[in-house]
A and B are shown apart, each in its own frame.
Chain A
């Protein structure tokens, strides 16, 4: 049974990157950028999640089939949020 063995150094580097991003997300939160605060927070979170998925969860070295299912979950969540928002963003009364 062969599967890719990631060198430990890679894990350490990814970890350090995650910590830096954590610092970044906290720091940015205290600077008033208006609407961009949310954009920054989500972007940093997405980058962190990508690092965990690709390296810690080995998706960078996984088959295409696995990658499709990794994507599927997040895509479906985007569907749920997106289509529900078509209601909430276009309400003229109530909400």
Chain B
């Protein structure tokens, strides 16, 4: 079967990117016939801008701006105004940037714009709103991430472990002690220093009038011009062998995340070679990947097994596509194993790394390469099926200094060779020098780590008869050696994480 390459949202669209007479950068995708208008307003600051001891200040400030009032309206009055329009003004906090998002029907464009520009320009900073938002962020860490979401916990623990001592090493909402120490005055000061024209990047798409841009420039001129400066990032600490963090909390199955920083982002040519390799190995929530087919499909170990060559958020629940606007200047490779039965977790870790070793040793065949390349060229078109997503991906492309990402995938993949892909795998991917986090049940951490460290065999049994080739592989996998670096490996309680 042949499928033509699909072109979505490419009709009736005019795209502009400009830094105009104000210091605010604009990205525009104008589509006059569209009744919808999407906004993505990026603040070029994120959790990496948090002052030491005030981890969470960037997120708390942004959340208070988006979920507070204006000088004229209380928070409840803002909600009341937005309600009949079915509009919202939300914020996505992240490490490098913070993105305010809104979507509105053109019937209410002007009123909506006035309202959210007031939120951004004249935040109320009410003490009661501050307390509410601060409580929410503390609850997210103390009663959410640490206790009720083992998959998210494993991923955030891996991030903290991989980027220990690095600006990326806290969650984007901060730490418990950091948030606790933040005062409303801290928020006001951070807002005054950071919400400057040079830090703002306005994305707008849909059926808006051209005059809106001038209006925005005019209104936002009340902000100081400022001077955008990128925070200097150190190199992440080198990883030696396999460094393991076992996290204890009540858990009936064990979530696993593993990975390491890689010196490749969308700005690099090698990224596109790795994009193909990764899709073949672990495309998120599809049955294309080696990991998914061998761990879930062949062995029924869990619900899903995927890999990534950059930060990936979203794509759970509904459509499996990644959220835009989480760009990083330093990226990482990771593998995510969804919770595995305790007795099979050691085996599952070995199985994933055994598959990674095979990928590095053998690479892709020509057929694998051609099929995966073709898949990605078509599939990536689906990532931008709404105007807001298209806008977000366009802005990410500008962050990385590339052509529009979806176009870049087509261009780069069409010129890619099998050798490019297999060389990139050899250069950047490896089953050693990796950090692993495993969320295990209370009191089970030490034994689990000992078994990993001692390379205790981890045989697996099945309810069903298995083909001989699977059983033969299992014999190799159950004793696949893992070079655990005991001096760099720890057992911690979940309540110790994200504390400071």
Answer yes or no: do A and B interact: no
Interface residues of B (CB under 8 A from A): none
Interface residues of A (CB under 8 A from B): none
